[in-house]
A and B are shown apart, each in its own frame.
Chain A
Amino acid sequence: MREMLHGSKAVAKAVKLCDVDVVAAYPITPQTPIVEYIAQMVADGELRAEYIMVESEHTAMSACIGASATGARTFTATSSQGLAYMHEVLFIASGMRLPIVMVNANRALSAPINIWNDQSDSIAERDSGWVQIYVETNQEALDSVIQAYRIAEDKEVLLPVMVCMDGFVLTHTMEPVDVPSQEEVSGFIPPFEPELKLDPEQPVTMGALGEPQWYMEFRKQQDEAMERALEKVKEVDLEFARTFGRGYGLIEEYKTEDAEVVLLTMGSLAGTIKDVVDRYEGVGLVRLRLYRPLPVEEIARAIGNAAVVGVLEKDIALGLGEGALCTEVKKVCYDRGLETRVLSFVCGLGGRDVRMEDVEHAIEVCRRAAKGEKVSPTTWLGLREAVP
């Protein structure tokens, strides 16, 4: 049924449809409405789940780990400082191979304190062993949460999944969203039945010491699970498309065929860029949906014929002078022997609007580079020129 929904409500509805057993969360702007809606659903008896009110995000994730270890389907959501506060436990969730699903409402990190959108919070957790999916719309947020449980709980994967949606831009904005029926979703997600779980009838030890003679092998197992996750994200999305009529892929290509300049981004910014790209000839867009594991093959195929790729991202790898994603696109080019020039465009930090003029400016820089003109490897879009 089509409904007008805020992104946060779309997520809450997805959580309900996935029949989650345990939710442990701590409120933080702009994630708050997600957990408020879920709390309401539990209080009203619409969702039969244990809602654990905790005193911090560190505990929220720890409670999810404990619950997931008993075989419960678990959910949490956070943003920014909350995600940073979860940092050490994120590695435990992924190291213990627990299929927890979390929505991160992307928000800038302090200081200075800022509650608005950018993606530096989740990008800082890129090596934590979580699958990361970035969505463009509220519909995709709902659909991705449903897909996330199928991916995470697959026996070939068993990894936690983070669905990243731009704070405010999506969480607090209404869009028409097609909400599938309970029967359809229940048919798509089988019950979570782990082979090994905390069960007094069949005792196991979880979270034990991994000494130097074993630790590396477990890390290698995780990396291999990530490789399998890439295929699984693809498979689950195809099946989702067959079932629900909507699919997203690992990357979305927009007018990239024969494009001399390709812009690459993640999340809701893709909407603005598509409008700008429509005004140009020979300019396309790649929207990266799956950030971890990085779909190297798909990116290489999409940008391989372009002279210049401009990576527009809402994060800055301080000390590297460019966005983290830009560095990774360079890796793709290097590994695949592509001669595509990769330029970094840092934008939208701390909620700074990325205007159509900013995207046009990025395209002009890329076009100059394509002509062989010397351009700066990194451009900050929409930055004040004279700071008092």
Chain B
Amino acid sequence: MKPGAVISEPGSTVRNRTGGWRVFRPVFDMKECIDCGNCWIFCPESCVSRSEEGEYSADLDYCKGCGICANECPTEAIKMELEEK
């Protein structure tokens, strides 16, 4: 614990897996996807990625389930589904 709560190691935030905060998870339907990239641009957690084949997915270790990707998707290809454990 550094005085003043200074974090002296860059990039340590990745250790904080915020996926546990999620109530709804984004589910991507690639049949509806037009590859506009809005979900990738707007994700505040930067956890949406695009594969080489043009498929989108969210990294569920960090996705907090905010739903911004689903809201921004022009073709409603992303649905927010309740997490059930």
| Category for how many chain A residues contact B | 10 to 19
DSSP majority for the B interface?
loop
3 closest A-B pairs (Cβ-Cβ)? A97-B4, A205-B7, A96-B4
Contact between A217 and B1 (Cβ–Cβ < 8 Å)?
yes
Chain A, 186-209, contact with B by CB distance < 8 Å: what is the 0/1 string? 000000000010000001111110
A-side contacts of B3, CB under 8 Å? 97, 158, 221, 225
Q: Please, how many angstroms separate the alpha-carbon atoms of A206 and B7 in the complex?
A: 7
Contact partner of B8 (CB less than 8 A), chosen from A196, A210, A221, is: A196
Contact between B6 and A218 (Cβ–Cβ < 8 Å)?
no
Contact between A95 and B6 (Cβ–Cβ < 8 Å)?
no
Contact between B7 and A204 (Cβ–Cβ < 8 Å)?
yes
Contact between B1 and A206 (Cβ–Cβ < 8 Å)?
no
Given A97-B3, A204-B8, 20 further pairs, Cβ under 8 A: A95-B5, A96-B5, A98-B4, A158-B4, A196-B2, A196-B4, A196-B6, A203-B10, A204-B7, A204-B10, A205-B6, A206-B4, A206-B6, A206-B7, A208-B5, A208-B7, A210-B5, A214-B5, A218-B4, A218-B5
Chain A, 128-167, contact with B by CB distance < 8 Å: what is the 0/1 string? 0000000000000000000000000000001000000000
Interface centre among A205, A214, A225 (most CB of B within 10 A): A205
B-side contacts of A196, CB under 8 Å? 2, 4, 6, 8
| Category for how many chain B residues contact A | under 10
CB contacts under 8 Å to B, within A98-154, are 98
Interface residues of B (CB under 8 A from A): 1-8, 10
Contact between A214 and B1 (Cβ–Cβ < 8 Å)?
yes
Interface centre among B3, B4, B6 (most CB of A within 10 A): B4
Q: Please, how many angstroms separate the alpha-carbon atoms of A204 and B10 in the complex?
A: 6
CB contacts under 8 Å to B, within A62-112, are 95-98
Interface centre among B3, B7, B8, B10 (most CB of A within 10 A): B3
Q: Please, how many angstroms separate the alpha-carbon atoms of A175 and B50 in the complex?
A: 73
- What is the distance, in angstroms, from B64's C-beta to the closest C-beta of chain A? 14
Contact between A221 and B1 (Cβ–Cβ < 8 Å)?
yes
Q: Which residue of A lies closest to B11 (CB)?
A: A203
Chain A, 346-375, contact with B by CB distance < 8 Å: what is the 0/1 string? 000000000000000000000000000000
A-side contacts of B8, CB under 8 Å? 196, 204
Q: Which residue of B lies closest to A224 (CB)?
A: B3
Q: Which residue of B lies closest to A96 (CB)?
A: B4
Q: Please, how many angstroms separate the alpha-carbon atoms of A221 and B6 in the complex?
A: 13
Q: Please, how many angstroms separate the alpha-carbon atoms of A206 and B2 in the complex?
A: 10
Q: Please, how many angstroms separate the alpha-carbon atoms of A97 and B1 in the complex?
A: 13
- What is the distance, in angstroms, from A280's C-beta to the closest C-beta of chain B? 48
Q: Please, how many angstroms separate the alpha-carbon atoms of A231 and B8 in the complex?
A: 28
- What is the distance, in angstroms, from A93's C-beta to the closest C-beta of chain B? 10
User: Can you pick out 6 interface pairs between chain A and chain B where the beta carbons lie within 8 Å of each other?
Assistant: A95-B5, A97-B3, A204-B6, A205-B7, A206-B4, A207-B5
- What is the distance, in angstroms, from B62's C-beta to the closest C-beta of chain A? 16
A-side contacts of B4, CB under 8 Å? 95-98, 158, 196, 206, 218
- What is the distance, in angstroms, from B60's C-beta to the closest C-beta of chain A? 21
Q: Which residue of A lies closest to B4 (CB)?
A: A97
A-side contacts of B2, CB under 8 Å? 196
Q: Which residue of B lies closest to A220 (CB)?
A: B1
A-side contacts of B7, CB under 8 Å? 204-206, 208
B-side contacts of A95, CB under 8 Å? 4-5
Q: Which residue of B lies closest to A210 (CB)?
A: B5
